[in-house]
Amino acid sequence: MEIKILGTGCPKCKTLEKLTRDVVEQNSIDATIIKVEDIMEIMKFGVMTTPALVVNGKVEIKGRVPSADEIKQILTK
């Protein structure tokens, strides 16, 4: 599984990255987490508001920080 955290480094982006890493670690999910900070790369996903969570190339969440439970549901479905 490839997970991308899209964000330029704002507090919300850092929170989403930390939550995602925690969920992956706590649930032993086999995933590669990549932080994408380049605005041109972020725009390729059609994301105008960060942070965003991309799983296997699909934008799952954008513009907000989800709860750890919500991240877990997305990653384990």
Q: Catalytic: 8? A: no
The residue annotated as part of the active site, out of 1, 10, 34, 48, is 10
Nearest to 35 by CA among 58, 9, 61: 9
Spatial contact of 32 and 2, defined as CB atoms under 8 Å apart: yes
Neighbours of 1 (CB within 10 A): 11
The residue annotated as part of the active site, out of 3, 13, 36, 75, is 13
Spatial contact of 72 and 27, defined as CB atoms under 8 Å apart: yes
Q: Catalytic: 53? A: no
Catalytic (active-site) positions: 10, 13
